[in-house]
Structure 1
Amino acid sequence: MAGSKDASRGAVTLDVDGIEVRISNPEKPYFADRGLRKIDVVEYFVAVGPGILAALRDRPTTLERWPGGVFEGARLSTRMDNTGDAFYQKRVPKNAPPWVPTAHITFPSGRTADEIAPDSVAVVAWCANLGTLTFHPWPVDKTDVESPNQIRIDLDPQPGTDFADAVWVAPHVRQLLGEFGMRGWPKTSGGRGVHVYVPIQPRWTFTEVRRAVIAFGRELERRLPDRVTMSWWKEERGSKIFLDYNQMARDRTIASAYSIRPKPHAPVSAPVDWDELPDVHPTDFDVRTMPARFREVGDKHADLAEHAFGIEPLLELADRQAVDDGMGDLPYPPDYPKMPGEPMRVQPSRARRPASGDT
């Protein structure tokens, strides 16, 4: 990566694999507590370029943009409040250069969009110049956006649990996957959770893959009832690890490997080996430490794309759960249209209770 300065405009131009990427305001503080500037963030992504490109290549990707950097009190805009300091960018910006590719996707509402689908480290660097810290790729390839080619298992610690509890559950995920003839690749979330990626054959719909994940989670919950929950409603989860099955719903994404999380110490989501997972902590991996690790050990997910498992055994398990235990679908996220076969989307404490005289 070579660079040149444009002092008159306060910018630098980086040569990223033969593509010139202009970085505006490179000295702008992005993580002031760590002394990290915008240019440091861009150079981080270039340093781990082969790894993050493998995680994003040809996948429609939502950009989590923090153009003002991460500072005390900074917050992310939401669907209900768009006055935050950061925001999700789902549509390709109008000023994107012609070498930034896109993928056409359909949201649950039926609306469509062209999202960035990175095919080079230069695209990643260009997105970083926009303030992108976290990349949220769909689990699909742009050649077939209706058929997921990854299962993403999100082990999400609930109040009263932490990263260590997610790590405790993770080997049980590995074992159960093995029983179904599948293999998973773990990574830290960059926060308190653990993610496990499972490459699958792109033959099934989002609905079918989500159903397979629900079946898997229910079996894990059956085996570890005191440690794992599948309850969508927070009031019912308790101090357990929630396996967030709705991460496999359409337009639900997980922070990619090597993404930066918007916390003061600039942590990153780090691919790890199963045998090193019990000995790591999320704070081990950040913008300053990950490039050296990447140079030393490479991409721990490098061979993920070489595999593709069938989900038939999980769909068969879902059928057995439905017949033997009467287990049907689970609630979708609140912004989804009502889905066929979905139960009432009302949290239990607000559900109407029959009056004493009702029959």
Structure 2
Amino acid sequence: MAKVDDAELLEVVGRMVRISSPSKPYFTRGVQLTKLDIVRYFLAVAPGALRGILDRPVVLKRFVNGAEAEPFYQKRAPSDLPEWMRTVTLSFPSGRTAEEVVVDDAAGLAWIVNLGCMELHPHPVCTGDLDHPDELRVDLDPQPGVVWTDVRAVAMEVKALLDELGLVAWPKTSGSRGIHINVRIEPRWSFIEVRRAALALARAVERRCSLASSKWWKEERHGVFLDYNQNAKDRTTCSAYSVRPLPDARVSTPLRWDEVMTCDPADFTVLTMPNRFANIGDPHAAMNEHADVLDALLEMAARDEAEGIDDAPWPPHFRKIEGEPARVQPSRSRTSAVKKATKKKVTKAEGEDVDPAAAPVAKKGRRQSTMPLIVIAQSSDKAAAEAGLERWKEKHPEAAALLAPDDVLVDRMRGSAYVWYRIRVNLRHVPEASRPTQGVPDPDDDPTRAWSDLQEQPS
């Protein structure tokens, strides 16, 4: 290892990789880790980390100022790509294309980590066939307040169903609060078909397990959400051995199934993972030896359709798909009663008074809430928004005591140049007469307001 200016040169599989600002702090609030520490971690677990990204286009999620600052996503390969790094042209649902980075060895892994890529986000395709995924991804996303025990229970239910269907499943911690379960598949099906299979799986698990939810809209979810849309084209999840931006530098860790019900995700960190990897190896070492088929899941999807169960919403940036329901939050859709009211016409003959008891005609375009949701706080600072929620609970203790864990909705809102947080509360479990009314959010920092006010000004 040679020092060049403020950089370190590492020799990795015969290549020289420049690590800029090696002493730059990446974690300070819990463990103390520098950029070079993170690079060395990935090199220690390189065979496992490469298994999830090798020969795949990778979205660069860059934590250029460490884990405690906001990252940004970079789809296009940097202009200063080393001559030994590959790219591949990937098309997006929008119709645009980009040259994305492909990692072939540990040197390439070290190079992207130097860019701040602690979370590795590969697409579920290999460069030889970019239109047919070779992996089905089951993302178990616990809703606010859901405990780890429930996440593990849903994971075991997923395994039971996949076992029945003859599919080999590979679990790992998400590195945060959830669990990812991946299934290697033959690259025979399109993204639409793979997503369709994932949706059928999510709905089947929901029917079998009361803790599971397949509902897309946050206000309808409960328990553990099976995010089927992670299988849509251009969606990625962090792969095995990724480092998550939590104070303890937690790692997304491959597990054996006999570990799922006893493990604690807090045990798997940048500091502990190299020893685990050296002692037991990679629990997913045989993953690429299995390539399953989706026939059984697609048959389940066909049965759902035959029974009148429609498609579910797609991510917002996708074009409208045939058979997809209205892509609008339930709380923003009109109730059936309002729809009937808009169709009902109140008429009168000449000289006749209108019955004052007749139902009024709802104004066209007015949105009526189907759920008692109120906005509590909105801020670019998540901690400030959460503090606002606590103040609201102190102000309304009776209502707060009746909230279920998944009645608190924390939305991470993303704009072209900003990220902000909105916290809403669903008052469905609070008696109507006791429900607090919508007040001014505290704090009330909405970065879209200036744009909205501008749009409303007369031209």
Alignment match, 1:294: 277
| Cα separation, partners in 2 of 1:227 and 1:145, compared to 1, 3 Å | same
Cα offset, 1:43, TM superposition: 0.4
Is the contact made by 1:221 and 1:229 (CA closer than 8 Å) also made in structure 2?
A: yes
Cα offset, 1:160, TM superposition: 2.5
User: C-alpha deviations, 1:70-126, integer Å up to 9, x for none?
Assistant: 23xx22xxxxxxxxxx20111110011011111211111010111111110111101
After TM superposition, list the pairs within 5 Å mapping 1:108-119 onto structure 2.
Answer: 108-119=93-104
Alignment match, 2:262: 279
Residues in 2 aligned to 1:38 and 1:135: alpha-carbon distance in whole angstroms: 15
SS where residue 356 of structure 1 aligns? helix
Aligned: 1:50 with 2:33: no
Aligned: 1:342 with 2:324: yes
Determine which of 59, 62, 76 is the counterpart of 2:59.
62
Residues in 2 aligned to 1:163 and 1:328: alpha-carbon distance in whole angstroms: 31
Alignment match, 2:302: 319
Is the contact made by 1:139 and 1:148 (CA closer than 8 Å) also made in structure 2?
A: yes
Residues in 1 aligned to 2:269 and 2:342: alpha-carbon distance in whole angstroms: 61
After TM superposition, list the pairs within 5 Å mapping 1:169-184 onto structure 2.
Answer: 169-184=154-169
Residues in 1 aligned to 2:182 and 2:342: alpha-carbon distance in whole angstroms: 51
Normalization by structure 1: what TM-score?
0.93
Q: Which runs of 4+ in 1 moved over 6 A?
A: none
The code of the aligned residue for 2:319 comes to P
| Cα separation, partners in 2 of 1:350 and 1:299, compared to 1, 3 Å | same
SS where residue 275 of structure 1 aligns? helix
Residues in 2 aligned to 1:183 and 1:68: alpha-carbon distance in whole angstroms: 39
The code of the aligned residue for 2:49 comes to I
Compare CA radii of gyration and give the structure with the larger one.
2
Alignment match, 1:245: 228
Residues in 1 aligned to 2:10 and 2:82: alpha-carbon distance in whole angstroms: 15
After TM superposition, list the pairs within 5 Å mapping 1:220-235 onto structure 2.
Answer: 220-224=205-209, 226-235=210-219
SS where residue 138 of structure 2 aligns? strand
Q: RMSD of the alignment, in Å? A: 1.1
SS where residue 279 of structure 1 aligns? coil
Cα offset, 1:146, TM superposition: 0.4
Alignment match, 1:36: 33
Alignment match, 1:11: 7
Cα offset, 1:198, TM superposition: 0.3
Residues in 2 aligned to 1:167 and 1:113: alpha-carbon distance in whole angstroms: 38
Cα offset, 1:357, TM superposition: 6.1
Alignment match, 1:103: 88
Is the contact made by 1:17 and 1:121 (CA closer than 8 Å) also made in structure 2?
A: yes
Cα offset, 1:337, TM superposition: 1.4
Alignment match, 2:18: 22
The code of the aligned residue for 1:153 comes to V
Is the contact made by 1:104 and 1:142 (CA closer than 8 Å) also made in structure 2?
A: no
Residues in 1 aligned to 2:241 and 2:253: alpha-carbon distance in whole angstroms: 6
User: C-alpha deviations, 1:125-175, integer Å up to 9, x for none?
Assistant: 011111111111111111101000000100110123133211111111111
Alignment match, 1:352: 334
User: C-alpha deviations, 1:217-243, integer Å up to 9, x for none?
Assistant: 11111111x2111110111113x1100
Residues in 2 aligned to 1:103 and 1:285: alpha-carbon distance in whole angstroms: 33
SS where residue 119 of structure 2 aligns? strand
Residues in 2 aligned to 1:254 and 1:343: alpha-carbon distance in whole angstroms: 25
Residues in 2 aligned to 1:155 and 1:129: alpha-carbon distance in whole angstroms: 30
Aligned: 1:141 with 2:141: no
The code of the aligned residue for 2:211 comes to R
Q: Which runs of 5+ in 1 are unaligned?
A: 76-85
Is the contact made by 1:163 and 1:194 (CA closer than 8 Å) also made in structure 2?
A: no
Residues in 1 aligned to 2:228 and 2:148: alpha-carbon distance in whole angstroms: 19
Q: Which runs of 5+ in 2 are unaligned?
A: 345-459
Give % identity.
50
User: C-alpha deviations, 1:266-288, integer Å up to 9, x for none?
Assistant: 11100011101111111111111
SS where residue 302 of structure 2 aligns? helix
Alignment match, 2:356: none
Alignment match, 1:87: 72
Residues in 1 aligned to 2:147 and 2:176: alpha-carbon distance in whole angstroms: 10
Alignment match, 1:80: none
Residues in 2 aligned to 1:203 and 1:357: alpha-carbon distance in whole angstroms: 48
